[in-house]
Structure 1
């Protein structure tokens, strides 16, 4: 009797296991699964490639704020504070700190959306292998954006921690908003550059020109090291069109309490968001043209 009950239980258990087994995915089902998560698969590829230089990302992210703070905030800051007699209203270290973080985020966006894009299309041609899968060009672009956004976030967090340790952020709680502002600033610079880089077929020094005649002036004339209002009026528009200036205004508002009207907050955020949207639209379009034709 006991053996019969045990045999019946085993048969029932075996039947349950058999009925619970799923049939193998068909080719179409597998293709659909890949298509649904194409951007995430591309992000995974980006992360694998990023392992090769993660030490550089972390090292630069840590050393860069230390060197800039020593040179600009501590060294030059002493001179500026003595010469101005407190004319800025705050110590120069507090004034320049948020701009240093934001300009570093902008530089990271420039790095990740120039030579990396060129490598994907031409030098290493890593964008073409996914073309034999259901992953679309738009998803390849999306995976790249997810990856570099993660880079911006890590860079901003490391920089923020160093600033906080040095006492460069007097309003620490609201100063945390400097991190998402930095990510938004980097994206508003990086996405238009990504769209432009995806159209380049031959490296003829375009990226060097971009760094010297676009990124560098944006950093110098965006109120980074001195108030934009101190420039002649004919030079101030360089700052106004720079997403860095809009981010710096917001960054100083959350870190040192510089007053910014609510309407201008909308303008600053809206301008950077608009650049992100335009850059993303054009990047998707250019990726499809390059990869599909």
Structure 2
């Protein structure tokens, strides 16, 4: 199909983008932002969105890149998925986690053009970066006609393709707190095909004191209509001895609290089962990651 007719602007500054969004959002159909376009262009071609105005970020020079500052990784609005695949994208555990997540995003051409912040702005409930954002208590920075604000990842997702972004606002950055240097990180995903969205995906971040878990973070997509933390499993793990038995129980608790929806290729009961299995596996990978890091430091 062909896209519907729409206006198009490519501002050169963030301020001009906000002005365009403010003007465009008042028109029937509103305004949409084009960053990588890997989701938006498909929706336009199928005429599932019919905006009055498309605002292209391609000429805005200060919205790209990854940078560490103040204990956080700042992910600019035009940072591509492939930027997170590169070794050294971030220091410590986050630098090990990002490539493991990024390689599961669609396929190489999409990762070369699609953006991390754009994925969060699109709000697909099974997108991998949502699991990372909620697991790390990330924040989404926005700028609109009323100025700038920051929204916690826990408050960002409102349901499938619904977020806390207002029509006149631009997502300018994602801020990911750096996990402690001694944390172990794990990621595991189940999907139907190599380029499919995740059926279920889990991010695990573990901190230990000896064999005992002092902190556990579990970000899950596919367990509900938005990315969520597996809170009961996290609470159980704190103070537990890290290992297969504890991880299996954490998986059971995560599955019990999951509220997935039926889909043609994945009934809700199957997805609930996957939540339990993948939580256990992600925790196992996080523990292995922590142990391998310890071994490298001792070598």
| Shared fold per TM-score greater than 0.5 | no
Higher RCO by CA contacts (8 Å cutoff, separation 6 or greater): 1
Q: TM-score, normalised by structure 2?
A: 0.27
The structure where strand makes up a greater share of residues is 2
- Structure whose CA Rg is larger: 1
